[in-house]
Structure 1
Amino acid sequence: MPQPSFVAAIPAAAPEVARAHFAARLAFETDCADVHEALKSGQPDFVLLEVRGPGAYARGHVPGALNLPYREMTEERLSAWPQETLFVVYCAGPHCNGADRGALRLSELGRKVKLMLGGLTGWADEGFPLATGTEPGQL
């Protein structure tokens, strides 16, 4: 009998375990395409935050994103939004943990948060436009 491939060598999780795992991941993450569609609608039901510094933000960011570096996230800064506001955070991309730091900080402050997978790199990979300068811009 042939040896199983590296894929099959470790058995897949039971369907009910896989369902719980993937449902949990979606509670923490969203993707660039879903963010793009929500922004394109003109009525997103979340606040998109770029958590890199102002210089990086000015060089290029997702249109509509506000710049709030994770180190500057405080109760005072967040008081502009109702407590039930959902925040979506992103940074440069998969090589950067700024979005994770931002998501951690927001959750420590009692705020709902999701991470946009891929960050700015993922956004560009999808072919979506960037805004430049210090203003959020629009999609």
Structure 2
Amino acid sequence: MTSQVRAIPAAPSAIALMHFSNRLTFETDCSDVYGSQQSGDVDFVLVDVRGPLAFERGHVPGAINIPGRLLTAESLAGYPTSTLFVVYCAGPHCNGVHKAAVKLAALGYPVKEMIGGVTGWLDEGLELSVAVQRPATTAIGCEC
């Protein structure tokens, strides 16, 4: 009897190598971002693409806040097109990061997703920076 795992055969090794290697050109993880920050090798711009209220409540240290809807040629005019942007959102349940990555790529910038977003950062046991405390009743939805 074949398991559910093997019901669909695995790709040949050469195809798997190409697939997983290609994925790494589109993404990085929280540990890599943190490690780069700790070693001082920050050669990218870390962007939280959530809305300002969510950013103020807690964001990855070193990140700037540019909500996805504000990623335009005008708002990015100060960045050379060689700037690598690493974008993140709330977590795997939010596609705001993908929308932001599409906008950045369409504008000609290299971009990677920090997989896991805020959820992944916290899952790694890392601390968030807090800009401003808001009343608990303030909605902080993604606003991506």
Do the structures match in fold with TM over 0.5? yes
Tell me the SS of whatever aligns to 1:79.
Answer: coil
Larger % of helix: which? 1
Which residue number corresponds to residue 27 of structure 2? 29
Tell me the SS of whatever aligns to 2:111.
Answer: strand
Which residue number corresponds to residue 140 of structure 2? none
2:118 to 110, 117, 120: 120
2:55 partner letter: Y
Query: How much identity, in percent, do the aligned residues show?
Result: 56
Aligned residues: 132
Matches of 1:12 and 1:133, distance apart in 2:
46
2:47 to 49, 61, 72: 49
Q: Which runs of 4+ in 1 moved over 3 A?
A: none
Which residue number corresponds to residue 80 of structure 1? 78
Shift of 1:8: 1.1
1:6 partner letter: Q
Map Cα deviations across residues 33-85 of structure 1 (whole Å, 9 max, x no partner): 00110111223111000000100000000000000011001112112111101
**Runs of 5+ consecutive residues of structure 1 not aligned to the other structure:** 135-139
Shift of 1:108: 1.0
Tell me the SS of whatever aligns to 1:82.
Answer: coil
Q: CA RMSD, aligned part only? A: 0.9
Matches of 2:123 and 2:53, distance apart in 1:
22
Which residue number corresponds to residue 142 of structure 2? none
Residue 67 of structure 2 corresponds to residue 69 of structure 1 = yes
Which residue number corresponds to residue 39 of structure 1? 37
Shift of 1:115: 0.4
**Runs of 5+ consecutive residues of structure 2 not aligned to the other structure:** 133-144
TM-score by length of 1: 0.92
Matches of 1:80 and 1:46, distance apart in 2:
14
TM-score by length of 2: 0.89
